[in-house]
Structure 1
Amino acid sequence: MSGFISLEGKRALVTSGTRGAGAATVALFRDLGARVLTAARSRPDTACETMFVAADLTTPEGCAALAAAVRDRLGGVDVIVHMLGGSSAPAGGFAALGDTDWAREIALNLMPAVRLDRELVPGMVAQGRGVVIHVTSIQGRLPLPAATTAYAAAKAALSTYSKSLSKEVSPKGVRVVRVAPGWIETEAAVRLAERVAQDAGTDQEGGRRIIMESLGGIPIGRPSTPEEVASLIAFLASDRAGTITGTEHIIDGGTVPTV
């Protein structure tokens, strides 16, 4: 990869970059020469050579603090990767979701990107260059009604917002793209497979199969790895992708069954 693309000298912000695909993205960006700042609610226990800010990005104050740190510690930014996302909504379909659940999903999956872009993209426009990568989800087009309605709707909103932003700022030198992962085999995903396997009386591979079947199947036969997702993000952030903007790039092993 390093022989094909370079992020040498790029100043990058990667939100939620301490675990999973976020941590893989931070590591790859650093390997490719970028200066990286990342943020999460708390510093990980493991030693971290990457610049780090503790911030709750579901709040306006947390986003403002992170944006100030980007300006102070990086002197601006060339690449923003909005990796933050997730869901804590209860299962049970639409009727199980109260206003608090909806507000929580939107606060986590949409508003941090909106607020940080509002703080930092004007600086990209002023310098005439930059890349914004919004990490959405295939759930935006393939929701699971029993469990992910609010999450999927928030990610769909992020996708629409991203497209609108791209139309506004691409003529000014700032590319805006989306990466939509399917199931990623993070540490949390491994633990989920183990729990599913235990409940079903099977082994971990059987648990993985149950999860893949719940998604409608993954034709390639396995989830994506964090490193594979990071590689796609790094390519899109690089100058090799210089005319790619306004588009969504799915990495799901073929889970989405439509064109």
Structure 2
Amino acid sequence: MSGIRRDRNIKIPKRNEKSQSRPSNYLPSRPAEGRKDIAKKAEKKPQQQKSNRQNFRPNNNRNRRQNDQRKAKPRINKPTPLDDEIWARVVEHDFENNVLTLLGESKFLLGRYRPKHTDKVLQLGQRVYVGVDRSKRVEVGDIMGMARLDKMSSGATKDLPIVIQRFIEENELYFIKSFYNPAGFLSLKQHSYELLHGIGNKKATQMVEQRGSSGFTSFEQINESCSIDAAELLAIRFQSELNDRNLQPRLSDLLLPVKT
């Protein structure tokens, strides 16, 4: 053989060698008969519970005892730092909301109180009793809680230094003997007078020279000799300490309460 068949070595079967086709073993499947119906279970009707109203007898005596016990329990007021205050000054009287904002004299704490008289307006800076003895509370009732400077009205914020200054002026001799006369150096470079607003090292040195060895005797003497307002500067310092609780040193902690 030659040509393509010889090169590829292709064998062509003869007619007698072809295999005869075998019969198939495939059987047709069973025709679908459908799904048999399953009998449903009979639903049980919910049984109605027998009411016990016939056997129920209200225990009125027991209910009355519980109500009496609830009414008999006294209202417990949570302790606040304002409980230690005895006297306070009026900072604001909110007549519409019936709320008093007072400044305690012993710690300079701001508190909210309920006035006893709704038809009487208390004056700015008025001194009122807020101690434990309720029989002595003529103007003030219950304590409502602490007052925050950022929640106070703009008028009350402006009047606060005036109230503090009036308190300082009424206790003039105490603050002169407790601060202005014994004031000394806090460090090698800072004097206690420099804690006051607008007082620098040069002004503090001048105040020490004017004080001398005998000391000051009145605010008027301090104001004339040092050209300052002694009560106003001290009031501004106290208000700064109210605004910033982290301000150190705190003159309010060192000088209060006033000891007569």
Q: TM-score, normalised by structure 2?
A: 0.23
Structure number with bigger Rg: 2
Q: TM-score, normalised by structure 1?
A: 0.23
Larger fraction in helix: 1
RCO higher in structure (CA 8 A, sep ≥6): 1
